[in-house]
Amino acid sequence: MALRPIFTATHPRACSTAFERVFMARRDILESVHEPFGDAFYYGPELLSDRFRNDAVTREESGFSNKTYKDVLNEVMDAGKDVSITSHLITLLMFMRSSELPELPVHHAHISEGNNLSNIKNGKRIFIKDMAYYLMTPDNKPTKTAPSLGEEEPGNPTVLPIEVLKQFQFTFLIRHPRRAIPSYYRCTVPPLDEVTGFYEFMPNEAGYKELVRFFDFLIKENIVDKENLVVVDADDLLDNPEKTIRLYCEKTGIDFKPEMLEWNDEDCDYATAAFQKWNGWHNDAIKSSALRPRTHHQTLTTEGEDKEWTAKFGAEAQKVIRKTVEDNVADYEYLKQFALPI
């Protein structure tokens, strides 16, 4: 039986980009697709987010104003068939490092004819990392199947039909909100907001509630096996990356190699090109040359955190961050109980 494409569902600021870089290093067997559904969620004609709903200029300038969820799925299915924009960017970056013009990288088709994602050719497998909340209407409002993808499916909390969801092997990545939420807030205020283009912190983008809803639905529909869940906690990843990645690979059928944790110039160029559309969100991960155990891990008290957040963002921001953290702790702890034992 063919291995299904891997879909790592997560929430913002879960160290997911560092996690993703590990698998981008296996371009010999994996074709990485970086956060594809945000295009349709924020900018397309079927958008679900209010962030740019009344900002036609930004949506148009994004280049994704006409992209539907069906378009995104088609791009996922077509991954690797042609020399993509990402490949051109990689080529440019490599050329800037070299005095000679490099050969254009050739991508061969690895998806069979038709729409079955699990029929993979040439030994490559699709690896997607994306936000669960990109598949749902915010604030727990009812979500219907995207118009471009067919008729409504009662009980399905996502825009993707169940038959589409069944084609993926879903895994999950989480991080405690006391670390993820302030990190997200930082990207929505000066000076980073000028880079990210997100000029307001929106608590409904925390992503935990949607991740829990998605997780529970996939179990209910037997799309994921509750006895074989693959949930990674970012703290485990940062404290013991090799053990965590080894176990993840074992659970997903990926051949682990130690070099997945060490990244050369070509790996860094590939990541830089792949992360281009979400400029400003991935700077730390792009600059890294390896995923190694962190040497120190400081856990502050609530008072210490509040003091730190006040110093960085101001008193009013600290209150917003604290409330958002508290609103999402229960959902994090619910998912945490299923995390892989490290």
Determine what percent of the chain is predicted with pLDDT higher than 90. Answer: 75
Is 30 within 8 Å of 53 (Cβ atoms)?
no
Residue-averaged pLDDT of the chain: 87
pLDDT in tens, 251-304: 999 999 999 999 998 988 888 888 877 666 656 656 678 899 988 777 789 999
Residue 156 CB burial class (10 angstroms; 0-12, 13-18, ≥19):
middle
- The pLDDT, as a whole number, for residue 272 is 83
> C-alpha 173: how far from its chain's center?
9
Measured distance CA(182)–CA(322) in Å, rounded:
9
Overall CATH class of domain 6-336: alpha beta
Inform me whether the pLDDT recorded for 177 exceeds 90.
yes
pLDDT at 121 over 50: no
pLDDT of residue 286: 67
pTM given for the model: 0.87
Per-residue tokens: 6: 């891997």
Neighbours of 152 (CB within 10 A): 12
pLDDT score for 80: 45
Q: Are 251 and 230 in contact (CB under 8 A)?
A: yes
Q: Does pLDDT of 89 surpass 60? A: no
What's the pLDDT score for residue 282?
Answer: 58
Output the pLDDT for position 291: 92
